[in-house]
């Protein structure tokens, strides 16, 4: 078993060597002010606190050592190679967003390709709606990357953000994730009709007035999502079942489906969210979940964005668990980008692998249905399967 593991590790290292000996690694700007870090095949832990003055020094190191994973700091330092963090003298940092399928609920039940599709949808929402939309960052300051593994990175390099501390960056995260967003900010009470007692008029009832869908920021975003959800439910052959798929409990789904009459749906589209607790709670919570971006795995997980000394993957290096390239993506190409085609760098030469259970995946526009046992697969697929420990080299 140990011999087989070593054989598989050597297979990966040899293929990484073939790539790195001619690879055009794109170093980050001011790379001599960055910390570099690496992990290596067959070794535990990370070698970090490295710095390089010249590009050829970086490339020589990579070609000689053949890292399994390669990283650099989002921060700039006066002394990036100092072995103690406080001695590096922090000078500023990019704003980094790291979206990973592990952060998203229920994705562990999906295959790898579907996980990548869902996280890409979240990434597009982050880039187009929040960073370029609400925050107004110019696209020239945004660098987009496929991480090589399970997600995407966005580097914001607008000079106005370099000096932001962790607290300021956390405020950006809180906005994008809708943390602590109150319904009183989104909706306002609207008096519906009057009642007369004697000579005195009193409010006859109340409704919640929604923002118009064309409003900027969270107000318009919530309104658009609510209208979209209403349409989706009402077009369903079974509204109650659709609500259950949204995660609504059976009892609440029955009440909600009954309350969504034709007149009430039209009132919602006209901007009035009737103030029944069931409707109000469902629509606000569901709209928030659809519109917000998930940037961490849970409440206690600190998002990468808040970290002013974060290590991030080196562009055009290889991801040690997939063999995919950490690829830069032009903004105009994001919607069409498919990592299972566009991040594959290895060839089609056959390699023999051994796999314990069947595995299906589509790579380079070809569907692979891999059966249990020994068989030949293309080199790019062999690297992927061995890297992810799905198979071993036969």
Residues involved in catalysis:
98, 100, 301
Strand stretches in the chain, DSSP E:
36-40, 47-50, 67-73, 75-77, 90-93, 95-100, 142-146, 151-156, 188-191, 194-197, 200-203, 206-209, 272-274, 311-313, 328-329, 350-355, 359-363, 366-370, 373-378, 391-393
Report the distance separating Cα 356 and Cα 339, nearest Å.
26
Report the distance separating Cα 294 and Cα 316, nearest Å.
26
CB 226 within 8 A of CB 219: no
Question: Which are the contacts of 240, defined by CB distance < 8 A and separation ≥ 6?
Answer: 253, 254, 257
CB 295 within 8 A of CB 173: yes
Question: In this structure, what token pair is assigned to residue 153?
Answer: 């990175």
Cα end-to-end distance, the chain, whole Å: 11
Report the distance separating Cα 304 and Cα 118, nearest Å.
19
Find, among 52, 26, 65, the residue nearest to 315 by Cα: 26
Distant-in-sequence contacts of 60-64, Cβ < 8 A, 24+ apart: 62/20, 62/25, 62/317, 63/17, 63/20, 63/21
The three-state secondary structure class of 53 is coil
Question: Which are the contacts of 236, defined by CB distance < 8 A and separation ≥ 6?
Answer: 242
- Count of helix runs (H) and strand runs (E) in the chain: 12, 20
CA 250 from centre of chain: 31
In SS3 terms, 227-289 reads as HHHHHHHHHCCCHHHHHHHCCCCHHHHHHHHHHCCHHHHHHHHCCEEECCHHHHHHHHHHHHH
């Amino acid at each position: 078993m140990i011999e087989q593991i070593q054989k598989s590790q050597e297979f990966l290292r040899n293929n990484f060597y073939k790539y790195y000996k001619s690879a055009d690694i794109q170093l980050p700007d001011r790379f001599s002010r960055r910390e570099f870090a690496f992990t290596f095949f067959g070794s535990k832990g990370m070698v970090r606190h490295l710095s390089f003055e010249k590009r050829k020094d970086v490339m020589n190191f990579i070609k000689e050592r053949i890292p399994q994973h390669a990283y650099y700091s989002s921060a700039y330092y006066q002394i990036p190679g100092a072995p103690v963090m406080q001695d590096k003298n922090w000078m500023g940092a990019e704003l980094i967003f790291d979206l990973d399928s592990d952060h998203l609920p229920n994705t562990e039940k999906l295959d790898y390709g579907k996980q990548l599709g869902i996280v890409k949808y979240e990434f597009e929402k982050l880039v187009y709606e929040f960073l370029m939309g609400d925050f107004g960052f110019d696209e020239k300051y945004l660098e987009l990357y496929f991480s090589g593994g399970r997600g995407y990175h966005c580097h914001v390099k607008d000079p106005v953000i370099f000096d932001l501390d962790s607290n300021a960056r956390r405020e950006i995260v809180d906005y994008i994730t809708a943390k602590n967003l109150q319904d009183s900010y989104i909706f306002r009470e609207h008096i519906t009709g009057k009642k007369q007692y004697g000579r005195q008029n009193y409010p006859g009832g109340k409704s919640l007035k929604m923002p118009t869908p064309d409003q900027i920021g969270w107000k318009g975003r919530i309104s658009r999502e609510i209208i979209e959800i209403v349409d989706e439910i009402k077009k369903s052959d079974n509204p109650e079942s659709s609500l259950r798929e949204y995660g609504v409990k059976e009892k609440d789904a029955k009440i909600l489906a009954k309350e969504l009459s034709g007149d009430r749906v039209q009132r919602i589209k006209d901007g009035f969210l009737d103030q029944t607790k069931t409707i109000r709670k469902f629509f606000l919570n569901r709209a928030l979940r659809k519109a917000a971006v998930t940037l961490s795995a849970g409440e206690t997980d600190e998002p990468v964005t808040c970290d002013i000394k974060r290590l991030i993957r080196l562009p055009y290096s290889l991801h040690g668990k997939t063999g995919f390239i950490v690829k830069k993506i032009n903004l105009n190409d994001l919607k069409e980008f498919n990592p299972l085609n566009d991040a594959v760098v290895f060839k089609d030469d056959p390699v023999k692998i051994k796999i314990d259970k069947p595995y299906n995946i589509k790579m380079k526009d070809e569907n692979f249905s891999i059966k249990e046992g020994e068989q030949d697969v293309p080199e790019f697929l062999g690297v992927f399967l061995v890297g992810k420990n799905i198979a071993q080299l036969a």
